[in-house]
Amino acid sequence: MKVRYLVWVILLALAALWVGLGQNALPEGPGRELVLQKCQTCHEIGFVTRERQTRERWDSLISEMQGYGLKVTPEERATILDYLATRLAPGAAAPAPAQPQATTPTAGASVYNNCIGCHQATGAGIPGAFPPLAGHVPEILAARGGREWLIQVMLYGLQGQISVKGASYNGIMPGYGQLSNAEIAAVLTHIATQWGNALPAGQAAFTEAEVQAQRGKNLTAQQVLSTRQQLGLR
């Protein structure tokens, strides 16, 4: 099980390094389905990078994932590498942009699909790695500054050990600043109102303006961790 957690962690870290993530489909080509099969353990691989990598870099990234438990045969590895080095190489044409989605409760649930691998469909998280959202998000929102902090987590990520209800978690969450203000507002409203969660009295759904107010602060994941400690959460 420990190896499985590490695979999720490295996939999240690699996703954070891919600049310009979007919810476009991966380019068509030999090996596409294999990439989807092997790489979407933690994420919806509708994600496509605009920052292309060289064959050497893709080769290195695949080796890193294998070191953390990715299981592929030599033939599968070669196919994946050929696909990435061809379709996602420097100078390769980017797929056509996806049409923007409306910000509705359904859109929030759709954005949450990117979180399921770590926080689970039930919001229960994974012991020791990724904290629960069920039962914990309302506690964050009730803390002074907690609402702004949740937005900062989405924008800048979180890295370092935290404690939730006496249990420790030490996974890595990448920032999702590539998402639109509408998408971040929608997914935060979603997790604040699912699995028995409810917005504290006097609070309403997250807005695009709230998200925009936290952009541009250029926080590190460690700074976000320090801010959490100031919220007094345990």
Q: Which single residue is written with the structure tokens 């700074």?
A: 223
- On whether residue 97 sits in a domain, the answer given is no
For residue 6, the model assigns a pLDDT of 52
- On whether residue 98 sits in a domain, the answer given is no
For residue 35, the model assigns a pLDDT of 76
65 and 126 in a common domain: no
213 and 138 in a common domain: yes
For residue 58, the model assigns a pLDDT of 82
Of 34, 52, 87, the residue that ends a domain is 87
123 and 40 in a common domain: no
Cβ(197)–Cβ(191) under 8 Å? yes
For residue 86, the model assigns a pLDDT of 84
Tens digits of residue pLDDT in 91-136: 666 555 545 544 445 588 889 988 888 899 999 999 999 999 999 9
For residue 47, the model assigns a pLDDT of 44
Domain count, the chain: 2
148 and 78 in a common domain: no
Of 42, 59, 87, the residue that ends a domain is 87
- On whether residue 95 sits in a domain, the answer given is no
Q: What is the residue-level pLDDT of the chain in tens, covering all 234 positions?
A: 555 555 455 555 444 433 333 334 567 788 887 777 766 554 444 443 444 678 888 888 788 777 766 788 998 889 888 888 888 777 666 555 545 544 445 588 889 988 888 899 999 999 999 999 999 999 999 999 999 999 999 999 998 899 998 899 998 888 889 999 999 999 999 999 999 999 999 999 999 999 999 998 989 998 999 988 888 776
120 and 73 in a common domain: no
120 and 79 in a common domain: no
CB-based contacts of 32, cutoff 8 Å, min separation 6? 26, 83, 87
132 and 194 in a common domain: yes
For residue 27, the model assigns a pLDDT of 76
| Range(s) of the domain holding residue 206 | 105-230
pTM (2 d.p.): 0.59
**DSSP structure string for 96-152:** PPPPPPP-SHHHHHHHHTTTHHHH-TTS--BTBTB---TTTHHHHHHSTTHHHHHHH
Give the CATH number for residue 155: 1.10.760.10
Q: Which single residue is written with the structure tokens 């800048």?
A: 156
80 and 114 in a common domain: no
Instruction: Please tell me the distance from the alpha carbon of residue 149 to that of residue 227, in angstroms, as a whole number.
Output: 7
109 and 82 in a common domain: no
- On whether residue 12 sits in a domain, the answer given is yes
176 and 137 in a common domain: yes
112 and 83 in a common domain: no
Of 87, 114, 141, the residue that ends a domain is 87
128 and 54 in a common domain: no
- On whether residue 115 sits in a domain, the answer given is yes
